[in-house]
A and B are shown apart, each in its own frame.
Chain A
Amino acid sequence: MINKLFDSPEAALADIADGATVMIGGFGTAGLPNELIDALIARGARDLTIVNNNAGNGDTGLAALLAAKRVRKIICSFPRQADSHHFDALYRAGQIELELVPQGNLAERIRAAGAGIGGFFTPTGYGTELAKGKETRQINGRMYVLEAPIHADFALIKAERGDRWGNLTYRMTARNFGPIMAMAAKVAVATVHEVVELGSLDPEAVVTPGLFVQRVVKVARLATSAGGFKEAA
């Protein structure tokens, strides 16, 4: 029988090793799998390469992982935020390596890894500092830059509902990088707010088919100060 359900975030991340490349879903805090990041901090793995759109907000989640000095390198599109003080301090002190990638190239490089693509030509970034040293090519009169896929050992993502096969649905813009990161990692770990019986997710509405997901953990829904979240049924 296939059963991808794990009892706790800690159990789901017990084998992340030092030096691993870990993708973390989320755009700002929407879709950020906080429980998995806490478990990653507790696990103690060091020298990590992290792939996320941002570089942490405030003092929790990804920011806490950075503050704990577990991250050697971050690959992201938008590190600088009003509340990115942990990243800012590490970066200014030369204690973290930054690979800055235009957001669409970041998404497509992740998707390419999951889709088995060896590289792709994109017009984004052509002629800019972020394409320096990269191969370029003229195709049908337009200039393109060769970009490489980004593979990961683990992807930590936040979904809404899941079943024991790993089929997932998401909630609104919390979806963001989740589906493509799940494809690009050897081990994709998803939190869900609701575990449902096999067959009860509408097959027409499954966003991430279970073959892209190796582990599923149920976590409680957190109410925000705005009251936008409700406790999962």
Chain B
Amino acid sequence: MNMKKWTREQMAQRVARDIHDGAIVNLGIGLPTLVANHIPADREVILHSENGVIGMGPAPAQGAEDYDLINAGKQPVTLLPGGAFFHHADSFAMMRGGHLDICVLGAFQVSASGDLANWHTGAPDAIPAVGGAMDLAIGAKKTFVMMEHTTKGGQSKIVPACSYPLTGIGCVSRIYTDLAVIDITPEGLKLIDKVDGLSFDDLQRVTGAPLMN
């Protein structure tokens, strides 16, 4: 089999392709942050960050960092013309109130019905931290998840039901992995796209819930 997994950059590129001109988008910490680098130049996309900024630009030049202007990952960013600042209650009203078109989040697990687990492993010695994950997951018009298809141990991260503590119920619309793009539909998981050289049957074998072609 000459299948080649998508790299992290290719995954980001694949997500970026689905972000429409004019979209208001929140990118989660980690893998989703890469999406910003791949939004086609002819699309005007507005980036929102939970800590009270919309219209975020790229990272500043070295030496020009201003730690009053940071993103959710607490890294310095810049502001594009037209950008604005607001307080935290307004920022989360933007999410909860359905004013964001798309949010892109990482995940430990996604269930076949779109439940998301991405905030806590539930391990007894782990210190829990939730941040804005629960608000984002249920607030945006569309919640995209970006994650590896399987764990390092080869277990599917797409599961019949999440074993990790939930972030939100039935909130995920689409999953982007290093193998495939899969929609969560009322009828079940629908395959949208997959890497070259991977058969449907091989993909199904590493996916913990039934797929529709």
A residues sitting closer than 8 Å to B (CB atoms) are 27-31, 53, 77-81, 84, 87-88, 91-92, 98, 100-108, 110-111, 122-130, 170-180, 207, 224, 226-229
Contacts and interface: CB of A to CB of B under 8 A. Distances in A.
A180 B130 contact: no
17 contacts: A27-B52, A29-B74, A30-B67, A30-B68, A79-B129, A100-B130, A102-B135, A107-B91, A107-B92, A110-B88, A124-B135, A129-B165, A130-B130, A173-B68, A174-B68, A176-B52, A228-B67
B9 interface: no
Given A27-B52, A92-B127, A226-B63, 19 more contacts: A28-B70, A30-B67, A30-B68, A30-B74, A77-B129, A80-B128, A84-B127, A100-B128, A103-B132, A104-B96, A104-B134, A124-B139, A172-B68, A173-B69, A175-B87, A177-B87, A179-B89, A224-B67, A229-B66
Contacts of B92: 103-104, 107-108
A147 B133 CA distance: 17
B47 to A, nearest CB: 13
Nearest to B75: A28
Nearest to A183: B89
A176 B68 contact: no
A141 to B, nearest CB: 13
A78 B64 CA distance: 27
A102 to B, nearest CB: 4
Given A27-B51, A104-B92, A80 B63 contact: no
Contacts of B125: 92
Given A77-B132, A102-B130, A179-B87, A226 B66 contact: yes
Contacts of B168: 126-128
A179 B90 CA distance: 11
Interface in B37-71: 49-53, 63-70
Contacts of A77: 129-132
A111 B89 contact: yes
A178 B87 contact: yes
A103 B50 contact: yes
B31 to A, nearest CB: 18
Contacts of B88: 27, 53, 103, 106-107, 110, 176-177, 180
Contacts of A130: 130, 134
Interface residues of B, number: 44
A30 B63 contact: no
A100 B169 CA distance: 19
Given A88-B127, A107-B89, A229-B67, A124 B51 contact: no
A31 to B, nearest CB: 8
Interface string B99-140: 000000000000000000000100001011111111100110
A176 B65 CA distance: 18
B65 A226 contact: yes
Interface centre among B69, B89, B95 (most CB of A within 10 A): B89
B185 to A, nearest CB: 19
A172 B63 contact: no
Q: Which 10 A-B pairs have the closest CB atoms?
A: A104-B92, A228-B66, A104-B135, A226-B65, A80-B129, A107-B88, A28-B74, A111-B89, A102-B134, A78-B131
A187 B85 CA distance: 25
A80 B126 CA distance: 9
Nearest to B134: A102
B86 interface: yes
B89 A175 contact: no
A56 to B, nearest CB: 12
Nearest to A103: B132
A111 B89 CA distance: 7
B177 interface: no
A173 B129 contact: no
Contacts of A178: 87
A207 B84 CA distance: 13
B66 A103 contact: no
B198 interface: no
B79 A172 contact: yes
